[in-house]
Amino acid sequence: MRYGLGPEVLRDLTFSVEPNSFQFLTGPSGAGKTSLLRLLYLALKPTRGLISVFGRDVATMPRSALPDVRRRIGIVFQDFRLLDHMTTYENVALPLRVMGREEASYRAEVVELLRWVGLGERIDAYPPVLSGGEKQRAAIARALIGRPELLLADEPTGNVDPQLARRLLRLFVELHRSGTAVVIATHDIGLMDLYDARRLVLSEGRLYLYD
Ligand SMILES: Nc1ncnc2c1ncn2[C@@H]1O[C@H](COP(=O)(O)OP(=O)(O)OP(=O)(O)O)[C@@H](O)[C@H]1O
């Protein structure tokens, strides 16, 4: 992967994320973690090389197939990407609304998840008035609500205190136990030490696997 005429950001990577697996993706700032997650989310195309997602080659996938593939992926962006004109509840419920579900069938589920991530009091608040940590938890809840087959999370505990980080990690582990493949990009060694899992380590554009 390279951006424009810049240097190669990622090179000679070979790995797979197995269904129902759990892994941390780590490496120093600028090592390419976000780029790798964006490649897996099909938000970027590799300059060279082959990526297949859910068994389909990304290079030959028609644009029309993208929404279906993305619906199977939950993603927590580093900058949250919440919609400011929707309440916390509406942001989190959005993936279910897009799937065409009736509100009556999911309202309780959304409220329960919001309570779980500690946003029970912020259900009707709009993102501009949320703190960084609250936005992060709303972004996590939105990524989890559709029970995706693959969860990609970019520094999902970067804005919360260590106690809440542990709680969120537990949520990711539970999701994994219920059948989701989880990839968590993080710098936080303390967080990784809390859960014995595979580590994908990026360094100078290359990937080292510690199973
Ligand atoms: N849109 C872009 N255009 C040009 N270069 C980019 C772009 N996005 C990222 N890069 C470069 O690619 C490299 C990898 O960046 P990336 O954001 O993937 O790293 P990261 O490991 O996620 O970093 P951090 O931990 O700081 O978020 C960096 O050198 C960065 O400057």
Contact 32, 66 (CB under 8 A): no
CB 141, CB 90: distance < 8 Å? no
Q: Which residues line ligand 1 (CB under 6 A)?
A: 3, 6, 9, 27, 29-35
For residue 197, which amino acid is it? A
Using CA atoms, how far apart are residues 2 and 74, in angstroms rounded to an integer?
A: 25
Amino acid at 159: N
Region of residue 27 (phi > 0: left; psi between -120 and 50: alpha; otherwise: beta): left
Asked whether the beta carbons of 20 and 180 are under 8 A apart, the reply is yes
pLDDT tens for each residue of the chain, 211 residues long = 999 999 999 999 999 999 999 999 999 988 999 999 999 999 999 999 999 999 999 888 888 988 889 889 999 988 899 999 999 999 999 999 988 999 999 999 999 999 988 899 999 999 999 998 899 999 999 999 988 999 999 998 888 888 888 888 988 998 899 899 999 999 888 899 999 999 999 998 899 999 8
- CA-nearest residue for atom 1, ligand 1, is 3
- Cα of 31 vs centre of ligand 1, distance in Å, is 7
Distance of CA 110 to the CA centre of its chain: 18
| Substitution site in 8, 25, 34, 47 for ligand 1 pocket (most atoms within 8 Å of beta carbon) | 34
* H-only helix segments in the chain: 33-40, 66-71, 88-98, 103-116, 132-144, 162-177, 189-192
User: Model-level pTM?
Assistant: 0.91
Answer for the pair 20, 183: CB distance below 8 angstroms, yes or no.
no
Residue type, 147: R
Contact yes or no for 154/73 (Cβ under 8 A):
no
Residues 35, 10 contacting (CB under 8 angstroms): yes
Note the ipTM here.
0.95
Domains and CATH numbers, the chain: 22-210 (3.40.50.300)
Question: How much is the pLDDT for 59?
Answer: 87
Pairing of strands 198-203, 22-26: parallel
**For a pocket test of ligand 1, which of 24, 33, 152, 204 has the largest count of ligand atoms closer than 8 A to its C-beta?**
33
Tell me the one-letter amino acid at 63: R
Nearest CA to ligand 1 atom 3: 3
Q: How far apart are CA 157 and CA 149, in angstroms?
A: 21
Among candidate residues 70, 74, 58, the one with its CA nearest the CA of residue 156: 74
Residue nearest (by alpha carbon) to ligand 1 atom 24: 29
Which tokens hold the place of 25?
């993706």
